[in-house]
Amino acid sequence: MTEETKSFEPTIIGFTCNWCSYRAADMAGTARMKYAPNVRLIRLMCSGRLDPTFVFKAFASGADAVLISGCHPGDCHYISQNYKALRRFHLMKRVLTQLGIEPGRLKLLWASAAEGAIFASEITKFVEEVRALGPLNWPQPGEQVSTPIMEEVTA
Interface with ligand FES by CB under 6 A: which residues?
17, 19-20, 46-48, 70-71, 76-78, 81-82
Q: Which residues, listed in sequence order, are joined to residue 43 by a DSSP beta bridge?
A: 16
The residue among 71 and 123 lying less far from ligand FES, judged by its C-beta, is: 71
Is residue 105 at the binding interface for another protein, with CB under 8 A as the rule?
A: no
Alpha-carbon distance of 2 to 89, in angstroms, equals: 30
Residue 46 interacting partner from another protein, ligand FES, none (CB closer than 5 to 8 Å by kind): ligand FES
Residue 8 interacting partner from ligand FES, another protein, none (CB closer than 5 to 8 Å by kind): none
Alpha-carbon distance of 110 to 24, in angstroms, equals: 10
The residue among 27 and 101 lying less far from ligand FES, judged by its C-beta, is: 27
The residue among 39 and 96 lying less far from another protein, judged by its C-beta, is: 96
Other C-beta atoms closer than 10 Å to the C-beta of 125 total 14
CB 81 within 8 A of CB 53: no
Is residue 148 at the binding interface for another protein, with CB under 8 A as the rule?
A: yes
Alpha-carbon distance of 106 to 85, in angstroms, equals: 13
Is residue 154 at the binding interface for another protein, with CB under 8 A as the rule?
A: yes
Quote the longest CA-to-CA distance of the chain.
64
H/E segment holding residue 150 = none
Is residue 80 at the binding interface for another protein, with CB under 8 A as the rule?
A: yes
- What are the strands of the beta sheet with 65-70, ordered from one edge? 39-44, 12-17, 65-70, 106-110
Is residue 153 at the binding interface for another protein, with CB under 8 A as the rule?
A: yes
**Site residues (CB under 8 A) for another protein?**
51-53, 55-57, 59-60, 73, 80, 83-84, 86-88, 90-92, 94-95, 98-101, 138-139, 144-155
